Structure formats: structure tokens, C-alpha cells
Amino acid sequence: MDTQDFSELNRHSATSFHEQKQLIKNLLAGRMVLCRHCGQQLQAQLPVAGENSVGYIRCTQGCTDIELEAAVPKR
């Protein structure tokens, strides 16, 4: 039975997904968000609706580098 391993995995990915959502939410609200690793301000490039572009959240050092391909709901 690997149910415990599964719940560990799910909890971990849920946490990082939640963190990403929180980051995106803050950036969209115009708040300054700092990289949790280096403390530099994060830069956000949002995907453009209808175009095949990929958005990202990055810091200048590159230790935060999140792609936003499917993270932003289409509304």
C-alpha cells in the first residue's frame, strides 16, 4: 500500500500550486512580490490570450522561474 506516499506527493504539489496561484494573484493585483530565495523583485510576463505565448514569473537571478502556460484561467 502506497497511500501514504501518494498523500505526501499530493500535499507537496498542492502546496507549490497554491504558492504559484498566490504569486500570480499578488502580481496581478499590482503588488510587489519578492523572490523567496534571493529577495529580488519578481518580474511577471503574462501569457497573451489568443496568442501562442507563454507567460512567466522570474527574478533577475533566475532562481525563481515559473512558466504560466496553463496557470492563468481563461476568463
Tell me which residues touch Zn ion (CB under 5 A): 35, 37-38, 59, 61, 63-64
User: Which lies closer to Zn ion via its Cβ, residue 28 or residue 38?
Assistant: 38
Maximum CA extent, the chain: 46
Write down the least CB distance from residue 6 to Zn ion, Å.
31
Of all residues in the shown chain, the one whose CB is closest to Zn ion is 35
Write down the least CB distance from residue 29 to Zn ion, Å.
20
DSSP 72: S
C-alpha torsion angle, residues 31, 48, 66, 36 (rounded to 10)? -10
Amino acid letter, 61: Q
